[in-house]
Structure 1
Amino acid sequence: MVHNKPCIVQRDRTILLETTHAEFEAAREQLAHYADLIKSPATFHTYRLTPLTLWNAAAAGMTAEMICSSLQSLSRWDVPAALLEEVGRIVGRYGQLSLLPHPTLEHSLLLRSEEESVMQELKSKHSLVEIGVQFISPNEAEVSAGRRGVLKQELTRLGYPVLDHAGYLDGQYLNIFWAGERPDTRRSEESSGELPEEADQEFKLREYQQKAVESFRDIGGEGGNGVLVLPCGAGKTVIGMAAMRELQCETLILTSNTTSVRQWITELLHKTSLSVDDIGEYSGQRKDVRPVTVATYQILTHRQGKDDEQPHMKLFNERRWGLIIYDEVHLLPAPVFRATADIQATRRLGLTATLVREDGREHDVFSLIGPKRYEMPWKRLEEQGWIASVDCVEMKVPMPEELKEACGAAGKREQYRLAAENPSKLLVVKQLVDLHKGAQILVIGQYLDQLNTIARQLDAPLITGQMAQDQRNEWYKAFREGAVRVLVVSKVANFAVDLPDASVAIEVSGSYGSRQEEAQRLGRLLRPKQGENRAYFYAVVSEDSREEMFAIRRQLFLIEQGYAYHTVLAKPPGSVDLRGISGTSRFELSRGKEASWR
């Protein structure tokens, strides 16, 4: 029987969502809880159910019955019975295995399942024997506590995610309060079991931040690990500090770059009772290990030569850390995964705007950092006014004939770069800058030659990884203070750069089809704005090119969050006002101006 529902649910775990359906937005929000968006053409968006999306949904409290009921409520036709059965089987595996302290052996753990058939299935897995798993009864197995992380990784790979109830080390005690908070306030909160209403009335957790901290709380063996997913500008740093305040322990904070390290330190000094002596920076410039230490992923993985050791990995064991915070956890390098596998007895908190990883290692985040404990949809925060509303526009720019010929003769990688560096983009960038006179504008790109040309033409500063950190900070400060209106930046500005007044971003090139990069670049605009609280994100793409193909993939995560890209065609001559963009528009280059290509 045909129903007027927005989705077509297929046996291969894919779900087609009709974009023009009246219930599109409601359906999109439901699907986001347990499926990934994989394609976004104009008429039907394609979602896919995977074991990881279903296990994360289970970790967030959804049952197989809830997921199946949601699918049935959205589906235009009856959901295939075999698919419903498969969803039940996959979700049912979450929670079948538990990792527990061993009752008699100090340095061992117990792997237990109430289902003898599960243990019998695992008994046949040679990879578990190599890890050192010893089956001691129909329902139990023993394993060395030092293999805790490796075991969790392998069980996830085998399709049997394990609930880790083996407990945590408390770490070295550290007294942490909010700035201006009285100790008796904290004691009363502990007795009531409620999260803080800080004494400093100028600073207190927002409701969604409180819920995020609660979701991480270690109660009865649950929690104490996992990932919190919130958009840029939502206050993930504050949530991390709130977790530190709850645990009252020495903390290691890992983040993406030195700029982020110093932002963490500034926020800790401003919002908590910690002093300068309590906080250390561990980066390329400094190596201070203090009760709270903030380090970069890069310094941890640094080594002199390809075959040399990574001496800074010792930071994981320098002090008795009670908590490790992985900021921008989606950027976690492979060597840090290996180190994290060895410290599973330490509480671990991942913070990110997107769990998307381009290397496909989301399973390692799930098994080693923990499942997704909390997620706040971007559009919901926008509706509440906590982040800016962003209009997304894809500017399609034609390529000169000689550039098309060069692309035709080039290999695939070179085709992409030639299209990304299309010199005709420069005219579009100039007109967009003119259009947004008075706004704080970021021009973001991948290729330094292209960025150098744009910076010269706009008479704007260029910030790249080759620039000293102190000089970068000076330009960021000038931008924040309004002394500089336009900054041209490379990928060093993708992450953790606090430029709250930026209201326009013009992306001229990027890292192929990176969904996380697109999301992070738009995230530079999300800090609340005065007035209408609106910002503009322009993706400038060469028309009919390999770059255009990758752009479709780049946009997937943001479309999944509810953003819509308006398509604008750049054709000479004349010009139009872009502020009335709706659907597909035509943006025309100024008459008489031609792009030169070399």
Structure 2
Amino acid sequence: MSNRCVVTADPDIASADADADIDIETFYDALAAARRPVVTAEDLATTAGCTVEVANEALAALADESEVQRLDVDDESAVWAPERTAGATERVTVFPERRDIVVDEPEQYTRALLTQFAHLEETNSESGYIYAVREEDIWNAPYESLPELLATIRSALGGHHEALESWVEGQWERAHKFRLTTHEDGYVVLEAKSADLLGNVAEPRLDDGVLRARLDDETAWVAEERTADLKQTLYEAGYPVQDHRNLDTGDPLPMDLTLELRPYQSDWIARFADAGSGVLVGPPGSGKTVAALGIMADIEGETLILVPSRELAAQWRENLLNETTLSPEQVGEYHGGSKEIRPVTIATYQTAGMDRHRSLFDSRKWGLIVYDEVHHIPSPVHRRSAQLQTKHRLGLTATPVRETDDQQQIYTLVGQPIGTNWEALFEAGYVAEPEVEIRFLPWASETHRNEYGSATGHEKRQLAATNPAKIREISAILHENRGSKAIVFVEYIEQGDQIAEALGVPFISGETPHARRSKLFGRFRGGQLDTIVVSRVGDEGIDLPDTEVAIAASGLGGSRRQGAQRAGRTMRPVGKARMYVLATRGSREEDFARKRTKHLAARGVRVQEAEPLAFGDGRVADEE
């Protein structure tokens, strides 16, 4: 196309190349600069260095060429999004009153949009992808304004749905009824949009002592040590609180990074700086830890890093010393093996949540608290650590999901989600999108099948999980992927021992001494071991780079987050990345296998069923 930019008197625009064309690449540059999936003509004009009129003409031309699509936000304004490239098979059906969305064979772009304002409830071959739009999805939507959110909803759903959008608008307003601020004299204040909200919503629900006194009809003095209780109570009442307090950063801690950031990591840091607190959500291998180091360098305040395990504490210390200008004297660890409080302190959740240790952390003014594997926060002991006072809170997670569906507590206690486009990371080669295969195996023998038929309860589940036929299939998978680094996940110790013995590789479980466990993980990271078998101790909190194959041999009855964590071990910048989920055919594992991979499907990862390698006909294996 031939729309030429126009030089104007605006000094920011005057330097633009007058001969530059506005093509689809310029449009995508504007999307990246705006940090959202839609742009205005003003956004495009700023990126292209031209007038808004020329940008509007260019957008209209791109729409005529089916490159972009116009989305009307209100009667007078519009935003623009990439043209949908869905095939003829994609179909979106909206049930506005129930706030349900059913999508048949959705493309990855559609799923990426939906995850910004909806929750994946189910995925199956009969009903497609079923999403629900919940209150917390709107409260936590990563948008600065309602029009931007509505534009994304219309882009995902392919049109305007008045009843749904009216409800969304109501929920957006609820999320902006209360906010915490700092009074000029230094104490915390709760501000309500109206006197009715303060008197009839907040005061009756809050425990005695949370509010110290009324300041006027719409504001009240808050007990600083009870702010977490206030936020949680009002959230549960349907009124999330915006936190705009000015908290101390503690002593300054100048530091710089010694490595180069990826573009989306820089974006994470910029968005965190705007928000002040938040949860970085991205796949394993995307560099959330590096982004956290960048946020530390941006804040330059004393930092407390909370982790689920001592192994992860040691890895954080290594990263801090290798990738920043901090000295060893500035970094300490505080857990069962070490007790050091330093300007940067790495502690386990368990230790920081204990009353006898908590006072040590509470007595220091932290500029930043980092919550690694932040999905631990809602559990009782770990939740106490969220009440530690700090100016900034940063959560890191790939899968902010708990079985109790209380992930909203994470955003209440830490901050709103700051996500990234997982598909863009895959396409850019920063992480490798795993190929996930579910393989349904026959029973190892008729005897094993009969034992399952007569068993009940937990014994029934354990028999299916430890079906000996899985050992043959694991061997076949490893042979097919020989030369690749592989992890085999198990739930039961006896099964782990049997698989490790059959393969001639180490088995790492909670019973493995800490020193040996660290040594084996180190050998795997260093390439001296190419295959390990791990129990749940290996599901999270351990950085295992370059893992190319993950095999879930058992544990399908565990948490949904566990399944995503295991698949995430293969999300690394390598040539191929595969996950194999093994389930015994004709048992409840079939259903578990499908359910436990739906979160990967929500992130744009295709999950397929495949025939086992070791059992061609799918019937009962021969007795050995």
TM-score, normalised to structure 1, is 0.83
**1:56 corresponds to which letter in structure 2?**
N
Q: Is the 8 A contact 2:280 2:419 kept in 1?
A: yes
Q: Is the 8 A contact 2:422 2:603 kept in 1?
A: yes
Residues 477, 75 of structure 1: alpha-carbon distance in 2 compared, 3 angstrom cutoff: closer
1:97 aligned onto 2:178? yes
Q: Is the 8 A contact 2:441 2:584 kept in 1?
A: yes
The match for 2:421 among 372, 377, 396 is 377
1:264-283 correspondence to structure 2 within 5 Å: 264-283=316-335
The match for 1:33 among 88, 105, 116 is 116
Q: Deviations over 1:66-114 (max 9, x none)?
A: 44454445548973x433322111111122211112355x5x4222233
Compare 328-337 and 472-481 and name the one that shifted more.
472-481
The match for 1:446 among 491, 506, 510 is 491
Compare 29-38 and 499-508 and name the one that shifted more.
499-508
1:415 aligned onto 2:473? no
Q: Is the 8 A contact 2:402 2:561 kept in 1?
A: yes
Which residue in 2 is equivalent to 1:535? 577
Distance in 2, matches of 1:83 and 1:460, equals 55
1:306-321 correspondence to structure 2 within 5 Å: 310-317=355-362, 319-321=364-366
Q: CA deviation at 1:378?
A: 2.5
Q: Deviations over 1:560-598 (max 9, x none)?
A: 011112112338755xxxxxxxxxxx7x69xx96356xx
Q: CA deviation at 1:131?
A: 3.5
1:187-198 correspondence to structure 2 within 5 Å: none
RMSD value, Cα: 2.6
Q: Is the 8 A contact 2:249 2:302 kept in 1?
A: no
The match for 1:395 among 431, 439, 444 is 439
Which residue in 2 is equivalent to 1:209? 265
1:549 aligned onto 2:591? yes
Which residue in 2 is equivalent to 1:86? 167
Residues 318, 404 of structure 1: alpha-carbon distance in 2 compared, 3 angstrom cutoff: farther
1:6 aligned onto 2:91? yes
1:223-234 correspondence to structure 2 within 5 Å: 223-234=275-286
Distance in 1, matches of 2:145 and 2:120, equals 19
The match for 1:339 among 368, 375, 385 is 385
Compare 158-167 and 399-408 and name the one that shifted more.
399-408
Distance in 2, matches of 1:215 and 1:286, equals 34
Which residue in 1 is equivalent to 2:622? 594
1:167 aligned onto 2:246? yes
Which residue in 1 is equivalent to 2:131? 47
Q: Secondary structure at the match of 1:346?
A: strand
Compare 114-123 and 558-567 and name the one that shifted more.
114-123
Which residue in 2 is equivalent to 1:305? none
Which residue in 2 is equivalent to 1:350? 395
Distance in 2, matches of 1:91 and 1:33, equals 14
Residues 430, 407 of structure 1: alpha-carbon distance in 2 compared, 3 angstrom cutoff: same
Which residue in 1 is equivalent to 2:70? none
Distance in 1, matches of 2:163 and 2:458, equals 42
Which residue in 2 is equivalent to 1:153? 232
Q: CA deviation at 1:547?
A: 2.1
1:45-84 correspondence to structure 2 within 5 Å: 45-57=129-141, 59-63=142-146, 65-75=147-157, 79=161, 81-84=162-165
Residues 344, 285 of structure 1: alpha-carbon distance in 2 compared, 3 angstrom cutoff: closer
Residues 100, 412 of structure 1: alpha-carbon distance in 2 compared, 3 angstrom cutoff: same
Q: CA deviation at 1:528?
A: 1.3
Residues 444, 394 of structure 1: alpha-carbon distance in 2 compared, 3 angstrom cutoff: same
The match for 2:337 among 285, 295, 316 is 285
Which residue in 1 is equivalent to 2:307? 255
Residues 126, 497 of structure 1: alpha-carbon distance in 2 compared, 3 angstrom cutoff: closer
Compare 457-466 and 492-501 and name the one that shifted more.
492-501
Q: Secondary structure at the match of 1:326?
A: strand
Compare 315-324 and 161-170 and name the one that shifted more.
315-324
Distance in 2, matches of 1:595 and 1:49, equals 50
Q: CA deviation at 1:130?
A: 6.6
Residues 549, 144 of structure 1: alpha-carbon distance in 2 compared, 3 angstrom cutoff: same
**1:483 corresponds to which letter in structure 2?**
Q
Residues 388, 553 of structure 1: alpha-carbon distance in 2 compared, 3 angstrom cutoff: same
Q: Secondary structure at the match of 1:538?
A: strand
**1:550 corresponds to which letter in structure 2?**
F
Distance in 1, matches of 2:414 and 2:336, equals 25
Q: CA deviation at 1:327?
A: 0.7
Distance in 1, matches of 2:376 and 2:205, equals 31
Q: CA deviation at 1:41?
A: 0.6
Q: Secondary structure at the match of 1:473?
A: helix
Q: Deviations over 1:463-513 (max 9, x none)?
A: 112112221232223323433221111112112333323211111012625
Q: Is the 8 A contact 1:415 1:546 kept in 2?
A: no
Q: Is the 8 A contact 2:350 2:382 kept in 1?
A: no
Residues 448, 387 of structure 1: alpha-carbon distance in 2 compared, 3 angstrom cutoff: same
Which residue in 2 is equivalent to 1:113? 192
Distance in 2, matches of 1:127 and 1:410, equals 50
Q: Deviations over 1:420-465 (max 9, x none)?
A: 1111111111111111122211111111111100001111111112
Residues 315, 37 of structure 1: alpha-carbon distance in 2 compared, 3 angstrom cutoff: farther
Distance in 2, matches of 1:176 and 1:77, equals 48
Residues 292, 416 of structure 1: alpha-carbon distance in 2 compared, 3 angstrom cutoff: same
Distance in 2, matches of 1:463 and 1:412, equals 27
Q: CA deviation at 1:355?
A: 1.4
Distance in 1, matches of 2:348 and 2:342, equals 15
Query: Structure 2: any 5+ residue segments left out of the alignment?
Result: 1-87
**1:386 corresponds to which letter in structure 2?**
Y
Q: Is the 8 A contact 1:514 1:553 kept in 2?
A: no
Q: CA deviation at 1:269?
A: 0.8
TM-score, normalised to structure 2, is 0.80
Q: Is the 8 A contact 1:9 1:71 kept in 2?
A: no
**1:148 corresponds to which letter in structure 2?**
T
The match for 1:455 among 470, 490, 500 is 500
Distance in 1, matches of 2:546 and 2:202, equals 58
Runs (4 or more) in structure 1 with deviation over 6 Å come to: none
Which residue in 2 is equivalent to 1:142? 221
The match for 1:566 among 595, 608, 611 is 608
Aligned length: 533
The match for 1:426 among 471, 474, 481 is 471
Q: CA deviation at 1:406?
A: 3.5
**1:499 corresponds to which letter in structure 2?**
L
Q: Secondary structure at the match of 1:82?
A: helix
Q: CA deviation at 1:54?
A: 0.8
Q: Is the 8 A contact 1:37 1:45 kept in 2?
A: yes
Residues 379, 166 of structure 1: alpha-carbon distance in 2 compared, 3 angstrom cutoff: same
Distance in 1, matches of 2:123 and 2:623, equals 32
Which residue in 2 is equivalent to 1:295? 347
Q: CA deviation at 1:208?
A: 0.4
Query: Structure 1: any 5+ residue segments left out of the alignment?
Result: 180-202, 302-308, 575-585
